[in-house]
Amino acid sequence: MFSSIAPSMQIVFDVPFDSYREALKDTFWKTMDYINANYEKDGGFAFWFEHDMLPTAPKWVDLLEDEWRRHPGVFVMGVFFPKKYFTKTKKFVPEHINGGACYLKYISELVPMKYRDVSDRGAFDVILFKYAKLTKLYHISKAFKFSHMYSLLSNIENSKNIILHGYRQDKNSFIDKAIDLMESPESRMGEKIFLSCMQKKNKICCDLMTKTGLLTNCPVHEKNTVFANCKNNILWYLMRAYYFLLRKKTPSVV
């Protein structure tokens, strides 16, 4: 598919890990090492294109490059994900720039090995953001958008969105529907009618959505407002304290 757009090549790495997270980290850094060794260090970026992402603007590469060039010196540019507690899965997700992002082509030379540790329990983007935050060499972009099946149409029609990320969606269904909506005016009209007929309570964005009374909440797809950020911060610290006390009460096993 990509060869129809521009010259492309396939690179195969030996990844000696059973864990998906470890394998992904190893693959990411081997790819960045390859780019660092084989491409010109001209200040440009390599885009880590995840399989649940797709561009929605005709000149998306040019648009990303224009934004990248306006922020010289950074080594990562992407969508910011604030620290959150996922009540459905009972997981703490630290703040980070989502892994599907633009990276300086010689990022391998800049990042110390301690932030590339494959054995670290964190995801590669979470670990990398620790160094990005320390150095302040990152840029938060509004060109990237977390999307879902029921927000696809509005996200596609919003010209500010350049890259949509179908996080926690059925990957093939998300991509297929997005392409259909972008290519067919009839599909867009049909989608508008469909969405207007649906009740709000049936528009479940993903399996992380929770419902309390009449209120629904999703840690991924909710709007980034001051209220939402305050609520997430309060929940984060409350649950951290709760689990800390829970561990204190649990007798240690010798």
**Identity of residue 118:** V
Which three-class secondary structure state does DSSP give residue 141?
coil
Locate tokens 């703040």: which residue? Answer: 95
pLDDT band at 254 (very low <50, low <70, confident <90, very high): very low
Contact residues for 62 (Cβ-Cβ < 8 A; gap 6+) = none
The answer to whether the beta carbons of residues 103 and 48 sit under 8 Å apart is yes
Neighbours of 68 (CB within 10 A): 19
Which three-class secondary structure state does DSSP give residue 68?
helix
Could you give the strand order of the β-sheet that contains 76-78, starting from the edge strand earlier in sequence?
45-47, 102-104, 76-78, 138-140
Task: Tell me the domain boundaries of the chain.
Answer: 1-254
Sheet strands (E) in 91-136 = 91-93, 96-97, 102-104
Q: At what angle do helices 185-197 and 171-183 cross, to 10 degrees?
A: 120
How do residues 47-80 score in pLDDT, each as one tens digit? 999 989 999 998 999 999 999 999 999 999 999 9
How do residues 123-162 score in pLDDT, each as one tens digit? 999 999 999 999 999 999 999 999 999 999 999 999 999 9
How do residues 182-198 score in pLDDT, each as one tens digit? 999 999 999 999 999 98
